[in-house]
Structure 1
């Protein structure tokens, strides 16, 4: 078991420093989850590791589709941060937009996003990445990361979070 904690990367770090940090964090996550078969344990571990590794991640977690729930509503899964919304319908807010479009949403100013759901009034920017089962492209969940800093996320965050989500979906999706 890898128990390495990364120092928190501050907002505004150079792109090369951020990319390097992501690579280390994702490699460690993959090592931690190598033998793990539980999707819930993987989401919990991923949320915790990401949340601790980036100073500007103020809410980090998953909204999921569960077999016993309506398939057009995301239900909160494992996360780190303050209380999150419990359910988000497809098409509502940033998470709902990512779920319905199956595309990453990079939002530098959540107040300018039509229909933004304010789970926390302190949130200023957000990135949401869908996890799609590789063969069917069915939505499994979305990874939602909020920041209290405006425009905290950029293409470096998107690239690495998408790579992580592709890996997670290929390991835990059916």
Structure 2
């Protein structure tokens, strides 16, 4: 297992969930939610510096058929722009299928057997975005630990 913090970003239409690993690459934890639009890549770059991240994982919406649909093309373009901004820090696309579903299920079960709890809609979506990034990163860390290879596909300069 490679040493060093990894960041994961799970981009959506309106928000980007962010998670970070510990330096040993064992455990993923939520960091924050970033609004999509002006300044989002800059904020990710600031987090890379703040956490001294060795790599950034981007959630990639792979299709079950293996073809690259419109959403996947958008995420690939986002990851390519991010790779340009972060160079020489590597950016990798990692399959994110079901991360949001898994995150919502985990949040529901931790809130008391499916009860919504006191969180409002916007705050809850922000938490779900961070939880999805955390699930994405934990899956990537576990894959690397199991296989001995970095997960997913490198994009941009380092590809």
TM-score, normalising length: structure 1: 0.30
Greater fraction helix: 2
